[in-house]
Structure 1
């Protein structure tokens, strides 16, 4: 069982900036992992980014084996997955990162598809 996720420092900084730039709307993306570390994000293609949800066509995602997780923002202070988040997590597997307002490193949480929290380690 996974108890920790490793995220490259540059990626974490970029994700926080994305969340701030999309605010007051949510954003969503898919995380690429290489050698056990999340290194890149693919922003959800051709979607709708609203205040309470994100919609996109999963058929437009590239077929890549190194996409191992998702990320999305919550433009509120709730850093727990909603019922809709848990449904989404169940469809994509892997690790799921939520960034909450005001989008600082302390406002980031990671979860398994089950909704169980996991620790985040930011690496150089």
Structure 2
């Protein structure tokens, strides 16, 4: 399995991670024609130093939401047990952006927490 993400979206996500640092940020990824194109940041979220919380009832019903993204303000992009538990509830693809928030520190995982390849689309 491979996840495809638009380069502009990836650059925006990296900037969000930098802007929220030293806190985490999180959002939901919208896909169009098999490529992640947009991120949705849910209102009234809590973005802390070690976690992100948001009310999923505020998430719009949108069948194009196929994944999640969040940052880790530490150099590890490995999903925590809490991350994997969250992944299993939402399925799809999950991207973690680790400090120092460079393209090399971005990893994608499936709903079981197994790493999957990322393809950046121009």
> Structure 2 length normalisation: TM-score?
0.99
Question: Per-residue CA shift, 1:39-93, capped at 9, x if unaligned?
Answer: 0000132111000001110000000000000000000011100000001001111
Among residues 21, 31, 42, which one is paired with 2:29 in the alignment? 31
Residues in 1 aligned to 2:44 and 2:61: alpha-carbon distance in whole angstroms? 16
> Structure 1 length normalisation: TM-score?
0.97
> Number of paired residues?
122
Among residues 83, 86, 89, which one is paired with 1:85 in the alignment? 83
- 5+ long unaligned stretches in structure 2: none
User: Which residue matches 1:103?
Assistant: 101
Residues in 2 aligned to 1:92 and 1:45: alpha-carbon distance in whole angstroms? 18
User: Which residue matches 1:48?
Assistant: 46
- 5+ long unaligned stretches in structure 1: none
